[in-house]
Amino acid sequence: MTNRRDWLHVVGSSFFCASAMEARIGNANAATTPEAPLPLAEYEPRSMLHVRETEVPRARYAVIDVHTHLSWSAKSENGVALAAKRQFPSTPAELLPVMDRKNLRALVNLTGGYGDGLREAIATYDKAHPGRFYTFTEPSYSQLFEPNYPKLQADAIGAAHAAGAPGLKILKTLGLFLRENITSGKLVRVDDARFDPMWDACGQLNMPVAIHVSDPVAFFTPTDRFNERYEELHNHPDWSFFDHDFPSNAELLDARNRVIARHPKTQFVVLHVGNFAENLENVSEALDRFPNMTIDIAARVGELGRQPRTARKFFDKYQDRILFGTDATPHGKEVPQQYFSDRLYEIYFRFLETEDEYFDYAPAKIPPQGRWRIYGIGLPDQILRKVYNENAARLLRINI
């Protein structure tokens, strides 16, 4: 027996089918018929939304970008940098015009390395253009298995400081790539005691430690239909830390927290929004617990901008502990969210300075970190100044 509601439903459906058919016939020129599945990689929807679009060609206040990569190791194996020698993807002459146009007072080059490579990077950037570039040192892991490594590494921090490095950078190598035999064996933990003298040396010399631990949490889950960063992981399969012998995201962050707790006199800049921009509650808890922790926002406007109300409150509460950073890499075309360019900086400025809605977080046809768009948080002048330069200037002990 058919009741009246079912009957209406059937009539309704067939009416819909007839209309859809007419639409198809009327649209015979379309390149793709609605029946043909469209491959995800070819899908480039254009927003039909009419909302305000603010151009921000220049930051309202001078900026210190605390997170760029202007040099890196000439040799690495299995994710571990193995050479003091540096590669330079760019020259100051290429970078300075962009910096002047965008109101970037200084760039911090985090991957300066150690030894002769560090000295060359400092000569090329910092000393050639005082006040415009600051190059951090990095640990040398190649002597890790030597019994006096802890002291050697602590002494190397002193030598780097004497050479002009204002801080130390730790890549995610520690925790995810470095192994007992450097490139093989068991993974070395972030809170391995062999590094304790190094963290202490940084505290004694007032050198902040810019530390990257873990990665977006989606990188620790399977690369499947449920993964919100599916296309990114599909394009970079080696970015996945799911399975194998990798620790979980939570284990990595716990080990990092133990290091920060053990070295209260050392300042830690936990990069990429404390490496957990997807969970600002977690980052807030860590900031509340550790007065010696600050964060940068590098490569995470995509995360912050998709939760604009939570992010705005977060900036209010932690306005003295958030640093401007981008992860900018000259010629880094395969990572649009890091590609050093005018466009990259304009997106960051728009996110921080305006209340524009639903715009791209990276200069790319397809959002590279996940298919969503972002909303500006329109920070007031007083917070903008702190984030753009005051917090970094205080930490690096420089005048702006």
Nearer of residues 274 and 376 to Zn ion, judged by Cβ: 274
How many chain residues are in contact with Zn ion, going by CB under 5 A?
Answer: 1
Considering only residues 210 to 229 of the shown chain, the ones binding Zn ion according to CB under 5 A are: none
Closer to Zn ion by Cβ: residue 122 or 170: 170
Closest distance to Zn ion from the beta carbon of 327 (Å): 4
Determine the residue with CB nearest Zn ion.
327
Interactions with Zn ion, residue window 334-393 (CB under 5 A): none
Q: Give 99 or 210: the residue with its C-beta nearer to Zn ion.
A: 210
* Residue number with CB closer to Zn ion (232 or 327): 327
Contact between 144 and 81 under an 8 Å Cβ cutoff? The reply is no
Task: Provide the minimum distance between the beta carbon of 67 and Zn ion in the complex, in angstroms, as a whole number.
Answer: 6
Is the CB of residue 213 less than 8 Å from the CB of residue 272? no
Residues 6+ positions from 261 with CB-CB distance below 8 Å: 289, 290
Query: Residue 139, by phi and psi: left (phi above 0), alpha (psi -120 to 50) or beta?
Result: beta
Min CB(314)–Zn ion separation in Å: 21
Per-residue binder mask for Zn ion (CB under 5 A), 308-337, x = binder: -------------------x----------
Rounded Cα distance between 287 and 302, Å, is 21
Minimum CB separation of residue 348 from Zn ion in Å reads 15
Min separation Cβ 271 and Zn ion, Å: 6
C-alpha pair distances (Å), 293 with each of 166, 273, 284: 17, 11, 11
CB of 189 to Zn ion, least distance (A): 21
Which residue in the block uniquely carries the two structure tokens 């705005």? 312
Residues in contact with 95: Cβ distance below 8 Å, sequence separation at least 6, in sequence order? 70, 107, 330, 340
Q: CB of residue 56 vs Zn ion: minimum separation in angstroms?
A: 23
In this complex, which beta carbon is closest to Zn ion, that of residue 56 or of residue 210?
Answer: 210
Q: Which residues contact 264 (CB under 8 A, 6 or more apart)?
A: 290, 291, 292
| Closest separation in Å from C-beta 178 to Zn ion | 17
For 252, the token pair is: 């990595």
Nearest distance from C-beta of residue 141 to Zn ion, angstroms: 17
For 254-260, the CB contacts below 8 A with 24+ separation are 255/175, 255/189, 255/190, 255/191, 255/213, 256/175, 256/190, 256/191, 256/211, 256/213, 256/214, 257/286, 257/289, 257/290, 258/190, 258/191, 259/190, 259/191, 259/195, 259/199, 260/286, 260/290, 260/292, 260/293
Cβ proximity to Zn ion, 126 vs 327, nearer residue: 327
Q: Which CB sits closer to Zn ion, 56 or 108? A: 108
Token pair of 17, please?
């089918």
Q: Nearer to Zn ion by C-beta: 335 or 366? A: 335
Please give the radius of gyration of the chain, using alpha carbons only, rounded to the nearest integer.
Answer: 24
State the Cα–Cα distance between residues 376 and 245, nearest whole angstrom.
39
**Contact yes or no for 215/276 (Cβ under 8 A):** no
Q: Is residue 126 close enough to count as binding Zn ion by CB under 5 A?
A: no
- Tell me, what DSSP letter sits at residue 386? I
Nearer to Zn ion, 89 or 197 (CB): 89
Q: Which residues bind to Zn ion, rule: CB under 5 A? A: 327
